[in-house]
Chains A and B, each alone.
Chain A
Amino acid sequence: MANKKNYGMVIDTRVCVGCSACVYACKSENAVPEGYCRDWVVQETKGNFPKLTMENRSERCQHCENAPCVTYCPTRASHYAEDGTVQINRSLCTGCKACLAACPYDARYIHPDGFADKCSLCHHRIEQGLKTACVSVCPTGSLHLVDFNDPDEEAQKLMAGRIVYRQKEHAGTGPSLFWISASNKPGA
């Protein structure tokens, strides 16, 4: 199908301040239980005083094209949705944790009600034509929801000519999160 969607994210770490607004917005949007989260923030500092660099990253499920969680799920609860995201069918999930062990990004947790849970890329919001909760809230505009089958101009511009990477590409997972590195120079 020509107009099939393939959603993921472009995340601009140059502007992210690690405030965690995305984490809290997700928690209230998706009623994530106390003590858990679907997204989290990594603040990575490198170097020695006073020559330091920093990158802030809002991380979550990478909605892999070749997702180990789907491969290893014995009940087919974890599956690919039409729009290119990876979803969990709660009624099929037995909470066996095979997917938790398989995920190279540590994106999943077992919900206190007994099923595996993770970022859904706010499936319910995308369906209504809305951005995800974390994208909507971010004060820095670090997060961009992108349909990689038809990337908008803004996303293309953001990525063009910049250092962009994906995490653990060598694992062959085909992650759908693209990171604009904080090491890009101002103006680059």
Chain B
Amino acid sequence: MDHWQNFSRRDFIKISSLFLAGSAAMSSSAGQAFSGLGQSGSDENSDRIVYSFCEHCFWRCGIAAHVRDGKVYKIVGSEHHPLSQGKLCPRGTGGIGLLYDPDRLQHPLIRETKGGKQYYRKASWDEATGMVAEKLYGIHEKYGPGAIAMLHHGFGVSFFKQMFSQIGVNKFAKPSYDLCCGPARQASVLTYGYPSGTPEGFDIKNSKYMIFFGTHFGENMHNTAVQEISEGIRRGAKIAVFDPRFSTIAGKAEHWLPIKPGTDIAMMQGLMHVLISENLYDRSFVQHHTVGFGELWDSVRKMTPEKVAEITEIPADAIRTVAREFAFNAPAAFVHSGRRTNWYGDALQRIRAIHILNALVGNFKMPGGVVNFDKFVLKKPKTAHAHPPYEKSVYSRYPFFPDDEPSNTIASHEIVQQAISGEIKALMIYGVNLPETMTLGRETAIEALRKVDFMVAVDVLPAEVTGYADVVLPECTYLERYDALDAGRNFRTPFVALRQPAVPPMYESKPGNQIAKMITDKWGMHGVFPASVEAGLDKTLKMTGSSLEEIKKTGVIVRPETDLYRKPGVALNLKTPSGKIELASSRLRAAGFDAVPRYTPQPEAPAGFYRMLTGRKPMLTFGRTANNRFLGDVATAKENEVWVNTETAAKHDLNNDEYVHLKNQAGVVSEFPVKVKVTQRIRPDAVFMVHGFGHTAAKMTWAYKRGASHNQLISRTDIDPAMGSVGFQNNFVTFIKEA
């Protein structure tokens, strides 16, 4: 019998303070010899400024960490980095709250069972990485590379991908694809022939008219986008927002249209109808640069503003006004595709509809419209080490899953399901707090974690997921390490950015680059990584005509601004089957899907229940910041609230600031109570709560029991059949008043 099966009944272990109390002070490693601290002096007492980039969200802004007496005392925006331009969102400043989080993982931990009880014991790096190397290799030998998978979130993962390549493992999932931006990425591929990037391809600062569908800029503090929207407002740009909730950006809008949730596609079809029937669209552009107009018109012919008004509960006149203003301001006008786009099972089609609206007004590659920012082309040294061939380049069964992204070869929910079915036997989880990440809901995620034979978590904090691991490897924070170079952002001025340590790793934590190397060394594979991470960075930078020494001074190399706009009379030559913008997608049609978006109604709430919507607070990024005391130390950051319309609150006899439990349509009751915010700012048929609260891991001493978990209340998910994203807005809640 396979002795690993012992692990299948694994219990959640609260990582015990017994083992965490080992090294007390924050400055425990201050005396350690350490190389490569920023550009200037060795004088311990003088201020140093270290240029690096933030890891509190995917935007990865440039930061300037100010260090005194071996401590980072403040983080400000780097004036050199194009995405921050000297500015930061609250989370960027809040890096110190992560670095000096007293709950940080301090030592490697190994799960033990004694007398039927499971517990963690402190282990040396040698022992812990030895165990990881042995188990992964064993499972690889016995079941093949397809039995191993990695879920990852965060920029430091590159070293682990490199590590896994050595044993032919490339089954990797970025939950952010299926839970957030995947639909936007693939809708762009199908419509324009290239994936959308970060920042998204909109010429915000030159736009005169911006339409947002439920994307919460201002609550989503995507630094450069917020900077450019503000610039637009100062220049007099108008904003229209379709959102069931009066969001911050709705508060800036000329028109707030509190649309019935789940009816966006109908609204977009109504806007198309007006554009076409009133002859407001860019006829010449559509003729020369798009395909499928006839089929599109057929599909929206009956979607008159009157009909759409009935579906969306937005007056027909308002629909006409927005469509006309949009066309009037075009091409310096756009409908933004948003960031988190996985709302329902038709997420891909919803974003396709957005791009069709954009194409109709001919804003493609025009000032103030849709643009395609460039990336910095980084030459990379040839890897000395060839790796065994991969079984496949994509493992997902969804036909429009990306086939050009080696770090994302399968949807995270497919990994969860394969772990439950037994196809996947070993998991590495890098920076993903799976039980609180929206992949098929909490219960399913936990089932998967319990089921696998071996699980290793690489993390900074004792998040819920670490309690299910066989081995926990404490990575140091982004302020204590080098990572790969960041050339992955798309922007007006292409750039490459350096992450470098501001201070040495605290406790016994280690950077990912060293952890991955220790594991490949244990496999007896030497030379997979350069002799030192610095040497590797230097080699790559020299191929670009710079050097590590050089880039350390400002943290970034910036290229001049590129030309974003198309020239009249020049064909677009897109990488779509037609070479043009596909209003009707031939690829979708060939695979048996609707070639043009079609509205299908979403289920209605059961009586007395309300659709549960979610979003963000500007100072928090879900799990990344949940335990951050520095960021939590402002009244509005301390907990999440459930927003309830005044009318709805009266019906349920709810008072402002009262605490209630929430119960969803499947009978799941929130573990912790949540504060009620009675407000005019939301439709009566929906409630809103910020994701990322209500943590159950007691060792996250700040986050524990703070607010209620949105994730816990997800019992139903709707997976997009074309590209595999997970929609979860068909969950409904009601209120249970405290006795």
Interface residues of A (CB under 8 A from B): 12, 14-15, 17-21, 23-25, 27-29, 31, 34-35, 37, 40-41, 43, 45, 47-50, 52-56, 133, 136-142, 182, 186-188
Contacts and interface: CB of A to CB of B under 8 A. Distances in A.
Interface of B: 73-77, 86-90, 92-94, 96, 217-219, 221, 223, 226-227, 229-231, 233-234, 236-239, 246, 248-252, 254, 256, 258, 618-619, 629-631, 633-634, 636-637, 645-646, 679-684
A137 B76 contact: yes
B560 to A, nearest CB: 24
Contacts of B218: 17-19
Contact of B90 (A24, A45, A48, A53): A24
A49 B680 contact: yes
Contacts of A25: 76, 88, 93
A52 B90 contact: no
A45 B681 CA distance: 8
5 contacts: A17-B230, A19-B218, A49-B246, A50-B256, A142-B230
Contact of B87 (A40, A48, A138, A186): A138
A47 B248 contact: no
Contacts of A133: 76
B368 to A, nearest CB: 15
B442 to A, nearest CB: 29
A182 to B, nearest CB: 8
B246 A186 contact: no
Q: Is the interface of B mostly helix, strand, loop or mixed?
A: mixed
Nearest to A138: B87
A137 B77 contact: yes
A47 B680 CA distance: 8
A27 B630 contact: yes
B645 A49 contact: yes
A27 B76 contact: no
Nearest to B93: A24
In the A-B complex, the 6 residue pairs with the smallest Cβ-Cβ separation, listed nearest first, are A54-B251, A187-B236, A17-B218, A19-B618, A140-B230, A15-B230
A25 B637 CA distance: 15
A48 to B, nearest CB: 5
Given A14-B233, A24-B634, A28-B75, A139 B251 contact: no
A14 B231 CA distance: 11
B233 A15 contact: yes
A179 B264 CA distance: 36
A173 B5 CA distance: 74
Contact of B634 (A29, A37, A43, A137): A37
Contact of A139 (B75, B89, B94, B237): B89
A37 B239 CA distance: 33
Contact of A20 (B250, B629, B634, B683): B634
Contacts of B248: 17-18, 43, 54, 56
A23 B681 contact: no
Contacts of B87: 21, 136-139
A48 B680 contact: yes
A35 B633 contact: yes
A41 B680 contact: no
Nearest to A44: B251
Nearest to A26: B93
A56 B74 CA distance: 25
B618 A17 contact: yes
Nearest to A140: B230
A24 B631 contact: yes
Contacts of A140: 226-227, 229-230
A41 B248 CA distance: 13
A174 B171 CA distance: 65
Nearest to A187: B236
Contacts of A136: 76-77, 86-87
B629 A34 contact: yes
B93 A49 contact: no
A24 B87 CA distance: 13
Contacts of B634: 20, 23-24, 37, 40
Given A17-B252, A24-B619, A53-B251, 8 more contacts: A20-B634, A20-B636, A31-B73, A41-B636, A136-B86, A139-B221, A140-B230, A141-B234
A12 B75 CA distance: 25
A21 B251 CA distance: 19
Contacts of A52: 246, 251, 256, 680-681
Given A186-B238, A187-B236, A137 B93 contact: yes
Given A20-B634, A139-B226, A28 B680 contact: no
Nearest to A47: B680
Contacts of B683: 49
Contacts of A20: 90, 618-619, 634, 636-637
Contact of A49 (B223, B230, B249, B258): B258
B624 to A, nearest CB: 15
Contacts of A19: 89-90, 218, 221, 226, 618-619
Contact of B88 (A21, A48, A50): A21
Contacts of B92: 21
A17 B633 CA distance: 19
- Output the residue of A27, A41, A45, A133 with the most chain B CB within 10 A: A27
A89 B234 CA distance: 39
B221 A24 contact: no
B633 A27 contact: yes
A56 B233 contact: no
A28 B226 contact: no
Contacts of A50: 246, 256, 258
Contacts of A37: 634
Nearest to B88: A137
Contacts of B238: 186
Nearest to B684: A49
B255 to A, nearest CB: 10
Contacts of B86: 136
B227 A141 contact: yes
A139 B61 CA distance: 12
A54 B645 CA distance: 17
Nearest to B629: A34
B234 A56 contact: no
A158 to B, nearest CB: 9
Residue among B74, B94, B630, B684 with the highest chain A CB neighbour number at 10 A:
B74
A14 B683 CA distance: 24
A149 B143 CA distance: 77
